[in-house]
Each structure stands twice: as structure tokens, then as C-alpha cells.
Structure 1
Amino acid sequence: MQDSDTYICVLCGKPEAQSIDLYCRKSKLVRGHRQELSTDAQEEQGHRRAHREGYAVRKVWKDIASGFKDVERADFDRALKALAGGAVPALWAYAVDRFSRKGAEDLLKVIGKARVIFDMDGLDSNEPRDRRWIINRAEEAREYSENLSRRVKDTKEEQRDGGLWVAGRAPWGYQVSPDRFLSPDETPAAKAMPSRADVVREIFRRVAEDSASTRDICRWLDGAGVPSPGGSFWRHNYVHRMLRHPAYVGWQVVQIRAGHPEAYRDAKGRRVALKSAGGPPVGLVDEKTAQAAQTALSQQTRVPVDNKRDTRPKHLLTGLLRCGGCGRSMPFGGTSYVCGAANGGRGCPGRASVRADRAEAFIFEAWLSRLTAADVEDPILHAASERWAARIRPEETEEEKAARTALRAAEASLKRLLNDRQNGVYDGPAARYFAPLLRDATEAVESARSEVERYNAPGRLALPFLSVEKDILTASWEAADLPMRRDLLRLVIDRITVAKAPHQGAKFDGMKRFTIEWAQPETAEDDAE
């Protein structure tokens, strides 16, 4: 607060002729006790120095963060901005290395423009002889920080190569010894429950063999009274990360992307096994079980299509038609299929309606023409074959779907890896991980693709009609009841979008008003992805 040429200290209320800001910083406590002067103690020391120099404290800026790493230090940035902008003529800091460990980079923003006092170092930027010392001391702090970071990195890398657990906390289901060896946690997960390690094994088994979802796992654990790693309820995203964590298969890990542990690679690109104090690997599940669980996890991300309904539709095109104005379905009403916006009074910019008899006759003719024009290599026949096989041989189709799901998951992992490379995730020290990860991802895609190929044998078409000759197709259609006719259409049609008639009483023109989305086989969808 200022009264004419007098400034009031915000800490004690004492008036002074000048103002100064204090900047206090302490490194973030990661683990254990760090022997550093607290920010409160720094503030008190700066307060005393300010009054000895004839300054009133205008503002105290505080950060609990690293001075070297590229992390956000909001108060440091604000303090520099205030100083460089002339809001305050001076800034006090406890020491050069508490101010910044980026060398002269930060200092040159303010030295020469305002006064900066480094109390413990006995340096003052107003003193010409001190400027060189300040810059030299800042560069020394930067070099020390870089060397320390390099030594810590080398030490951790050596420990990882030796199979030691470097991270602070062991994954749930493990315990870590003082000498950093992992071992299965045999502590009971809850009353009348097996050990935590056994619970982890059961989680993988339920997902891999029973296709349990992550939410199913959470309900099971919460119902059994098993506390989560945070001591409360389980979350499905934590279970998801567990199922993809390399440590549960016994591999050393490193975090390249935030929140995504990857299998660690040594200097030769090889994965490193975690070791217990006795020497043997400590994996809780085998590779096959983990892979099966991850494949099941990928299947859960796809919305299952349930063609079995308790109430069977009574009209041929129900569920296929979509309004061109709003995209809503067009249920049957009266003698027509009408935009669903009519139900409940909802708005539609182009509400479509079409006479049922005209629509059904046109769609049948389009279906007939599309099939009679197809040859054995036409994708439409392969799509129809896949869907018909799913209807008459559901067990075999499920196996094929699982193979295709595994292929999509492998291709998605490969695509994500390539995107990460393009975005710079594997630049610098992380570059050595890219080649082995790319090799593993490519092998996974090739393996999954070879499994899918077993279901792509030439001539393996299963259709509900003997041929696609017009007479045979027409006879099959006329002999079919309504549910079968609905199925016959859906073998080759995914969706039909209906445009609004140009005006009331306009002559029906199916070619202009109907847009048919023809089916594509699963193999074509895989290639597109």
C-alpha cells in the first residue's frame, strides 16, 4: 500500500521509501526428507534484509518446484514479469540456485533493468563487480544440476538393467524390499480373501477366460471389501492400466508417456526381466494370459450388436431407414415410414416421410439389382457371407470375430506407436525404445493377420440362396417370411437415408430420395483401419 512516496510492508506494516518483492523457492519433496531452508524461513530472512536496505515488502512469491526441469513455476514467472515491467524496482532471492538452475537465461531478463539481491551468496546486481559472479554462479548451478541429473539417470538405468524396481511404489499385488527387489505380495487382500498377488492373478483370469469387463472387476473387488490402491473404491481405468502393465508379466518398466508404463529396453533393445531377492522372475501371470486379457479388453471397447429381440418388428424397413434432415430413425406410422422427430414433438429441419409400399418395392428392386450384378469377388457377397455365417454358425463366427478383434488391436497399437514417433515421444534418449517396440508391434500384427487369414479362404462363401441369378433370388424372397426378408436385406444393407420430398404431392423418385449404404466385409473394414 502506498501513501505519497511511502510504501507499507505487507508483512509487518512498517513504512519505507522503496518497495521490494521476495521470491522463495524450495524443491518439491519427492521421497524422504530434503535438507533445504523452508520457504517460510526464506521469507523471514528476506523480510529482515529488506528493512535493513530500506525496502518495504510489496509481494512474496513462492514456488515448490524444481528450478531446472521444464516445469511450470507460476510465481517465478510473475515475479520476473513484475520486475521487468517496472511494477517493483527490486527482487530478493535466497540464493542463485534457488532462483533458477537454467543458467544465465533467466537472469539476463532482469539484470541491468532492476536490482536483484541473492542473500546467501552475498551478491547484488547493482554492484558492477557482482554481475559476472552472478552469471558465473548461475552457470555453475546449471552445470551441477545437469551433472546430477545425468548421474541419477545413469544410476537408475543400471538398476533397471539389474532387474531392480526403480519407481517409488510397487504395483498393487507386489511388495518391494529395501534393496529394491520385487516379490509377490502375500498379504490378504481382505478378510476371507486370498493374497493380493492371487487377486491380481484372478483379475487376469476373469478378463481372459470369462470376458469380464473392468467394471465387473471393480464390482467384484468392491463387493468383496478389497480396498483399492488409494484405500477406497476401485476404478475401471485403474484396472485397465493393471491389465496392460508389463510388470505383472515380469518385465521391467519405464514411463515414456505420462501414465503409460512400457516395457523397459536395455542398450541392446532387449526387454529386462524383474528379479526377486532370490533371483527368479517375479511375473504374476504368463504372457499368454496377459495377451488374452488384453484381447478381451479390446473386444469390450466395441459395442456388441444384438440381433435377438423379444419383440420382433412387424415392418420390413424398420430400423434401416434414417431421416435425411436429422438422422433419426423412421418408424412405421399409419401407411408410411415417418421421421422419429414426430414422436415427442422434437424439431427436424427436413422431416422425411415415405409411403411404405413404395419404399419397400424400391428397396427390394435395389437389393435384387445389386446382388444380380455381383460376381464371386464382389465385396458385397463376402459381407453377406459373413453376416449369414454369424446367423447359422455363431460359435465359429465368434472365433473369427475374436481373431479380427486381435488384429484390430494389434494394428491400433502399431498406429499409436508410429503417431508417438511422429509427435516426438521417442526423440532423444527414448529413441532406443522405438526400434524394438516397432519390431514387436509389427510381429503382433503379422501374427494376428495370419490367424485372420484362416477365415479368408477363397470360395468360402455361405449364402442363404443357391446363386445370385434373378429368378433364384426372387423365388427365395417370395418364399421367405417377414423376419427372413428383413434378414436378407440386412445381409447387404447397413443404412438407408431418406430425403424429404421436394414438395407435397411430388411423384415418388427413389433414386433421388434414397441413399443406400451397402455393407462391407469385416476384412475391408480391417484394411481401412
Structure 2
Amino acid sequence: MQLVRSPAFAGLMPETECVETGDGERKYTSKVFPYRDPETLDTVEIGEGIITVGEREQIICTLKSRTFMHAGKRRPKPEGTALLTGLVFCAVPGCGRRMHRVGGSYQCMARRAGNQCIGASALAEAVDQYVSEQFLTKLPALEPGDPLLIAMADRWARRADPQTLVRRDVLTAEIQDEEARLADLEEARYVRGEFSGAAAVERYNRLSERLRGRIEGLRADLNRVPMPSADLTPMLDGLSLREAWADATNEDRRGRLSLALDRVEVSKGVRGQRLIPEQRVRIHWAAPV
């Protein structure tokens, strides 16, 4: 990866966010801000910088996507070929663990591991057919502006162009930080009365003007970063959707399902009774963030 010098945030002295843990200690997060002079709110520069704060976030995001997160641990098994692998969960109260296909059934892994769960189990083919039909029926019936469509478009965009979404997220976070600074400054003057006298009011005006200018500039930067577009039209046409579904692999189908739903929960049944999906299977559809 090549790092390019950028005039923005050049040489900024970093300030790392920290949070308090339950035992009273401080723990540093991975979020880093440029350090600002408490009097002028100007960024403090030391030497010559190499990358911007936004570029740093993009690099971290890229590295995370390439890093094996299970180093030193038992390597996880590859995802199964079952349709709902990673999406189906046990609905027994107090459990909520993943279910995996074992033979012809989805079974609660907590139960199989000997944990304290009575263990939900359901015929995989019946659950797959029910969830598939609900998906294939629900999408073509959605109206423009439906919350599910908004959530699906956002997930699609994040998959198609993650770097652009990272840039937008970084700018949005910076805007929120600056707005919080401005709100605190206004509270200091109008609520806590910390700015009294002509000199103090002049200082308040100077600081608030800089913050408002900073917020305006960040919003302009955000507007210049286009929101990735997602064409969901093929998924909203009933005939096209069913044709694509019939030709797709379970991996492809699972990818489409994960755009539209968060999880599928299966409750405990009664031994010997036929599975009635409407009674035991609950689909949690995606919602806008």
C-alpha cells in the first residue's frame, strides 16, 4: 500500500479517545482525533504529516478486512452449504445461540455442546422453504421508501463500495464531534455563564465562529462524497427475483437473504408434531441504521 502526502491534517498531533472500564481503569480505543489547542481550538501541528485522519481510518478498515482474526486460536471451520448458515438462531429463552444443520435438521449448538439449553431443532428443508418463500413474496410487495428497502440499499452500498462509506462515516463522525464542541461552548456561555465581560465574549465569538466554519466545511466535504447507489430493481420484480433465485447457489441466496434480514429464530417444538413454520419460525427483517 502506498501512502501519499496530503496537506489536510498535515503533521497533526494525535489525541486518542479513551473510555473508562468497569473497574475504574482507562482503556484507549482505536479512534484518534487531531489535538486542538483548548484556547483557540486550532489543531496543533508537529513536523510534517503523511496521511489524513480519514485516510488512516480507511487503512485500518482495509487491514482489518485482510487480517486473520483467529491467530493463536483454533481455526474456524468454513461456512456450511446450508441455506441459513450464520443466519438461524435458537429462540429458546436465555439461549440465542446459532443453529447449524446436522443431518436433515437445524440444531442448537449450545444443546449439542452440553450447555444449559433444552435445544431447538427443526427440519431444515421446511425452514429453508418457509424463509425463502417469505423473502420472495415480501420484496416485490415493498413500496418505495419502505424501511426495509432503505436498509437493503445501505447494506448493498457498503458491500459494493466500502471505502466511500468509510469516508462518509469518518466525516459524519467529525461533524458530530464538532457539533458537540459547539453545543458545549454555547452551554458554557448561556447556561453556565462562563463568558462574562467584553474580552470573554469576544473570545466566545471567535471560538464559535471557528467551530461553525469547521462544521460548514465538513458538511461541504461530505456533500462532495457521493453516496453509492444501489439498484435493487431486479430484486423487486417478482418474476425476475424467482428466476434468479432458482439459478443461484445457496451461497448466493444467503448473500441476498443477508441484505434483507438480520436473523431467523426457531423455537422449541413438541416431539412427534409436524413443524408449522408460522408458529415456530420468526424472521427479523433488516432495519435502517
> Which TM-score applies when normalising by structure 2?
0.66
Is the alpha carbon distance of 1:450 and 1:340 closer, same or farther for their aligned partners in structure 2, counting shifts above 3 Å? same
Which residue of the other structure, out of 256, 272, 282, is the alignment partner of 1:515?
282
* Residues 324-343 of structure 1 aligned to structure 2 (within 5 Å): 324=91, 325=93, 326-343=95-112
SS in 2 for 1:484: helix
Residue from 242, 245, 249 that aligns with 1:477: 245
Which residue of the partner structure matches residue 405 of structure 1? Answer: 169
User: Which of 455, 478, 483 does residue 227 from structure 2 map onto?
Assistant: 455
What is the rounded CA distance, in whole Å, between the counterparts of 1:475 and 1:273 in structure 2?
56
Determine the structure 2 residue equivalent to 1:439.
212
Higher relative contact order (CA 8 A, sep 6+): 2
Q: Report how far residue 497 of structure 1 moved.
A: 2.4
Q: Distance in 2 between matches of 1:491 and 1:238?
A: 29
State the Cα distance separating 1:428 from its structure 2 match. Answer: 4.1
Whole-angstrom distance in 2 between the partners of 1:480 and 1:273: 53
The alpha-carbon distance between structure 1 residues 507 and 444, as it changes in their structure 2 partners (threshold 3 A), is farther
For residues 71-470 of structure 1, the aligned pairs below 5 Å read: 237=28, 244-246=34-36, 253-254=37-38, 264-265=39-40, 283-285=46-48, 292-293=52-53, 296-297=56-57, 311-324=78-91, 325=93, 326-348=95-117, 351-388=119-156, 393=160, 397-414=161-178, 416-417=180-181, 420=184, 427-429=192-194, 432=204, 435-436=208-209, 438-440=211-213, 442-443=215-216, 446-452=219-225, 454-455=226-227, 460-463=229-232, 466=234, 468-470=236-238
Cα distance in 2 for partners of 1:468, 1:450 equals 29
Residue segments in structure 1 that go unaligned for 5+ positions in a row:
1-201, 209-213, 216-234, 247-252, 255-263, 266-270, 275-281
Give, in angstroms, the shift of residue 486 of structure 1.
Answer: 1.5
Deviations, residues 445-502 of structure 1 (Å, cap 9, x unaligned): 52354135x226xxx4334x7352322221111111222121121121122222223x
What SS does the corresponding residue of 1:345 show, helix, strand or coil? coil
Pair 1:491-2:264 in alignment: no
Distance 1:461 1:500, change over 3 A: same
Structure 2: gaps of 5 or more residues: 10-14, 17-25, 69-75, 196-200
Q: Deviations over 1:137-171 (max 9, x none)?
A: xxxxxxxxxxxxxxxxxxxxxxxxxxxxxxxxxxx
Classify 1:482/1:293 alpha carbon distance in 2 versus 1 (closer, same or farther; 3 Å). Answer: same
In structure 2, relative to structure 1, the CA distance for the partners of 1:440 and 1:353 (3 Å cut) is: farther
Q: State the number of aligned residues.
A: 252
SS in 2 for 1:466: helix
Match of 1:26 in 2: none
Contact 1:381 1:461 in 2 (8 A): no
Over the matched positions of the two proteins, sequence identity in percent amounts to 24
1:232 is matched with none
Alignment RMSD: 4.4
- Give TM-score scaled by structure 1 length: 0.39
